[in-house]
Amino acid sequence: MLIPFLKMHAQGNDFVILDFFAPGSFSWAKLDFSSVAEELCKPHFGIGADGLVLLMPNASCDAQMFIYNADGSSAEMCGSALRCVTWILHQKTGKKEFSIQTEAGLKTCYVNEDNTVTVNLGIPSMLNQSYQAEGFTGDLVNIGNQHFVVWVNSLQNNPHLQYGSVLEHHKGFKQTVNVHFAVLLNRNTAAIKIWEKGCGATLACGTGAASTVFSGIANGLLDSEVEVFMPGGIVKIVASEKGYLLSGEVCQSFEGVYNWKI
Question: Any idea what the Cα angle at residue 9 is, between residues 68 and 91, rounded to 5°?
Answer: 100
Would you give the distance in Å from CA 168 to the centre of its chain? 16
205 is catalytic: yes
Distance CA 241, CA 256 (A): 41
Q: Which of 84, 199, 205, 251 is catalytic?
A: 205
Give the number of other CB atoms < 10 A from CB of residue 118: 19
d(CA 185, CA 136): 20
Query: 41, 78, 109, 199: which is the annotated catalytic residue?
Result: 78
Amino acid at 236: K
Taking CA 186 as the corner, what is the angle to CA 184 and CA 191, rounded to the nearest 5 degrees? Answer: 40
Q: How far apart are CA 194 and CA 105, in angstroms?
A: 24
Distance CA 68, CA 75 (A): 5
Q: In the 8-state DSSP scheme, what is residue 25?
A: G
Q: CA 237 to CA 216: how far, in whole Å?
A: 12
109 is known as an active-site residue: no
What is the C-alpha R_g of the chain?
18
Output the furthest CA–CA distance in the chain (Å, rounded): 54
Contact, 81 vs 53, CB < 8 A? yes
Q: Which residues have C-beta within 8 Å of that of residue 186, sequence separation ≥ 6? A: none
Question: What residues are annotated to the active site?
Answer: 78, 205
